[in-house]
Amino acid sequence: MKLLLIITLILLLFSLIFDRKKTFSALKIAWNLFINILPSFLTILILVTILLTLLPKEVLAGILGEKSGVFGFVVAAVLGSISLIPGFVAYPLSSVLLKNGASYPVIGVFITTLMMVGIVTLPLEKKFFGLKTALIRNVLSFIAAILIGLAIAFIWRIL
Amino acid sequence: MKDYFTNNRNDLIFILVFIIFVLISYITKFDFGVRVFGNFKVSFLEMISYMPFIFILIGLFEAWVPREIIERHTGKESGVIGAVWVILLAMLQMGPLYFAFPVAYLLWKKGTSMINIYIYLGAFTTMKIPMLSFEIGYLGLKFSLLRTILALPLFIIISIIIDRIFGRDFKMNNPLNEKRK
C-alpha cells in the first residue's frame, strides 16, 4: 500500500512538471469519481458493519472462511452473480470481509462472479448479443469463477 | 449539485438515518449502536485513507493514456494480434460490464471477429488497469496477480467455446439505435 502511495505521488509530480492542464483535469476526474462513489460506498460499508457486528466472527468464517468448503463458494458465487456493486466499492468491502474471517479463494469467487456474471444486466446483454449467447457467456463465466476459486485455494497453500 | 442529491437520494437518506441512529445510541448508551459505530469507524478510516491516492492514480491514467492509438488498431487486425489489441484496449478502460456492450458493438461494426469480441469482454471484466490498481491496493498484489493470471486463459477458452457454438451466424444488435428510430 505504501508503494502505491509513493508511486502516485511521484507520477503526480511528473505530471505537474510536464503538463499542468492535464494534471488539473486528472485531479478533476479523480474528485468526480470519488464524490460519485462515496454515497454507495458508505451505504454498503454501513450495512456490512451492521452485519459484522450482528454475526460473531466464527459465524462469518463458517460461511465464507477456509473451512466453509463448497457452501462458501456457492454463497459467494450467487452473491457475486446477482449483485451490481461497482469495483470501487467491492474491493474495500472484500478487504473488510477478509479481516473478519473470509478466505481468499471465496473472495476470489465473489470478485470474479461480480465482474463476469451479471444477472441484472442480462436483459441488456441479450439485446446486444441475443439471448442464447448471453446466457451461455454467463453460465461459462460462472463456472470459470468457481475454477478460479479452486485454483486460488490450491495455489495459496503452495506459495 | 442538485443532480448529485437526486441521483444518490436513497444512499444519502440511509446515511443520514445511520448518523441519527448512532447519535441516539450514544445518548441512550445503546450498546449495539455504539459497537456498530466503533466497527464502522475502524473500517472507514482504513478504507478512506487509501482512496484519494488511488483515485488520483486513476485520474492521471485517464488524462495521460492515449487510448486512440490503440483504438485505431482494433478491428483491422485479426487473429492473435487482434486479440492482443482488444485486450490492451479493454485494460485501459473503466466502468461496469454494461459499459463494454456498446464498445463491443462498435468493434463488431469495425469487423472484429466474434472470438476477439468475447476476449474483449473477458479482459474488460477482469483486467482493467484502474480496477487492478484498486484491487492491489485493497487485496494485495499476490491475490490480484493470481486472479488475473487465472482469469486470462479461462476467458480465452470461453471465447473459443462461444465462437465454436455461435460463430457461424454471429450478429450483434444495437438497442440504443433502435430506440432512436
**Of residues A43, A54, A102, A90, the one with CA closest to residue B36:** A54
The residue ranges of every structural domain in chain B are 2-51, 67-171
DSSP assignment string, B28-54? HT-HHHHHHHHHHHHHHHHHHHHHHHH
pLDDT tens for each residue of B3-23: 888 888 999 999 999 999 999
Does B179 have pLDDT greater than 80? no
**Of residues A16, A90, A44, A84, the one with CA closest to residue B59:** A16
The reply to whether A43 touches chain B by the CB within 8 Å rule is yes
The reply to whether A26 touches chain B by the CB within 8 Å rule is yes
pLDDT tens for each residue of A11-49: 999 999 999 999 999 999 999 988 988 898 899 889 988
Confidence at residue A55, expressed as pLDDT on a 0 to 100 scale: 84
Confidence at residue A1, expressed as pLDDT on a 0 to 100 scale: 67
The reply to whether B121 touches chain A by the CB within 8 Å rule is yes
CB contact under 8 Å between B8 and A39, yes or no, is yes
Confidence at residue B76, expressed as pLDDT on a 0 to 100 scale: 74
- Which residues of chain A neighbour B134 with C-beta distances below 8 Å? 87-88, 91
Q: Which residue has the cell 476470489?
A: A108
Q: How far is A139 from chain B (nearest CA, A)?
A: 10
* pTM of the shown model: 0.85
CA distances in angstroms from B87 to B64, B127, B152, B155, B161, listed in the order given: 19, 8, 10, 11, 18
- For A65-84, what is the mean pLDDT? 89
Confidence at residue B46, expressed as pLDDT on a 0 to 100 scale: 81
- For A122-126, what is the mean pLDDT? 91
DSSP category for residue A32:
H
Does B99 have pLDDT greater than 60? yes
Lowest mean pLDDT, pick from A115-119, A128-132, B4-8, B66-70: B66-70
pLDDT tens for each residue of A83-106: 888 888 899 889 999 988 899 999
The reply to whether B53 touches chain A by the CB within 8 Å rule is yes
Does B181 have pLDDT greater than 50? no
The reply to whether A30 touches chain B by the CB within 8 Å rule is yes
Taking CA–CA distances from B119, the nearest residue in chain A reads A137
CA distances in angstroms from A32 to A25, A140, B29, B92, listed in the order given: 10, 35, 38, 19
The residue ranges of every structural domain in chain A are 1-44, 55-158
Q: Which residues does B177 contact at the CB level (< 8 Å), separation at least 6?
A: none
- How many Cα atoms are found within 13 Å in the side-chain-facing hemisphere of B178? 6
Of B32, B55, B151, the CB nearest to A33: B55
CA distance A68 to B126: 25
Taking CA–CA distances from B133, the nearest residue in chain A reads A4
CA distance A119 to A83: 8
